[in-house]
Structure 1
Amino acid sequence: MDLPPRAKRSNIFIDACLNLGEPLSATQVVRIRDISEGGVRIQGKSPGVGARIVLTRGETEMPGRVVWTADRHFGVAFDEPINVDAVLKAAVPRSPERPLYAAALTSGLGHFHRQTPRGRKTFGLRVAGAGR
């Protein structure tokens, strides 16, 4: 039995936003590990086989349904073919768990210390060594 040729796949490691396609449903950032015009393999917690989802990266929305799940990966079949190049070139979404200012606080700038009066708090955190 001859099977149709499989669509070209790109093995990648990029972020995208996933939600269940319902108003007020939570959005989570997931990792796309492999993508083709017809589907995607995602690293993250699966909403379950058969779940309808909308995957978003930049301006590209990719509605589909979960068709398989295994360990920490799951596969999504898109409702319609997508433009893989547009998805790969799209802007990276920000994780809701790590706001932009958190990146600055954890970016390895530990050698920079600002002098503050004793007991003064900055961003809700007590400054180590303040007033010494």
Structure 2
Amino acid sequence: MRSRKGGLVESRLDGAHHLRATPRYKLFHPTEMNAGSAARRVHILNLSAGGALVYANNPPNPGTTLRLRCGGRSLPARVAWRDERRFGVAFLSPLADADIKEVIAAHDALVCPKSLSPSLARSASG
């Protein structure tokens, strides 16, 4: 559940209230991150202007600086927290709305390709 409170977005996750300055968008976006010299396969699970929730087999430790491939860009970020295979990153520079829309459009194109007929696309979405 999300609602606005004085410019903040309120969301209820896992029975707790979280106030955020920007909305989060749920995704399942395969991509890469670079922490050091090697690129690793990861999945972005949600995205906001300030950061992302990411899934990886072996996540980096909190405080690690990395680059996350997001849309057509490689974004510098810092790991804020880690919990088993999921971790949160804070972008060093916030994403613009246009950048978020680009990532969501790329995600949607993978999930529901244009080659599907409109009726199949509607049934696939719910």
1:62 aligns with 2:75: yes
Following TM superposition, by how much is the alpha carbon of 1:87 offset from its aligned partner in structure 2, in angstroms? 2.1
Q: Sequence identity, in percent?
A: 32
Query: What TM-score, normalized to structure 1?
Result: 0.59
Structure of higher CA gyration radius: 1
Structure 2 CA distance, aligned partners of 1:3 and 1:65? Answer: 28
Following TM superposition, by how much is the alpha carbon of 1:88 offset from its aligned partner in structure 2, in angstroms? 2.5
Q: Give the structure with the higher percent helix.
A: 2
Which residue identity lines up with residue 77 of structure 2 in the other structure?
Answer: G
Gapped regions of structure 1 (runs ≥ 5): 92-132
Gapped regions of structure 2 (runs ≥ 5): 9-19, 108-126
State the partner residue of 1:117. Answer: none
User: Is the CA contact 1:33–1:41 (under 8 Å) kept in the aligned structure 2?
Assistant: yes
User: Is the CA contact 1:43–1:73 (under 8 Å) kept in the aligned structure 2?
Assistant: yes
Which residue identity lines up with residue 30 of structure 1 in the other structure?
Answer: V
Following TM superposition, by how much is the alpha carbon of 1:81 offset from its aligned partner in structure 2, in angstroms? 1.1
* Equivalent pairs, count: 87
State the partner residue of 2:29. Answer: 14
The 1:18/1:3 distance shift into structure 2, 3 A limit, reads: farther
1:26 aligns with 2:34: no
Which residue identity lines up with residue 101 of structure 2 in the other structure?
Answer: D
Query: What TM-score, normalized to structure 2?
Result: 0.62
Q: CA RMSD in A?
A: 2.1
Structure 1 CA distance, aligned partners of 2:48 and 2:105? Answer: 14
Structure 2 CA distance, aligned partners of 1:29 and 1:15? Answer: 7
Structure 2 CA distance, aligned partners of 1:78 and 1:4? Answer: 20
Question: Residues 76-118 of structure 1, C-alpha deviation per residue, up to 9 Å, x if partnerless?
Answer: 0001111211223348xxxxxxxxxxxxxxxxxxxxxxxxxxx
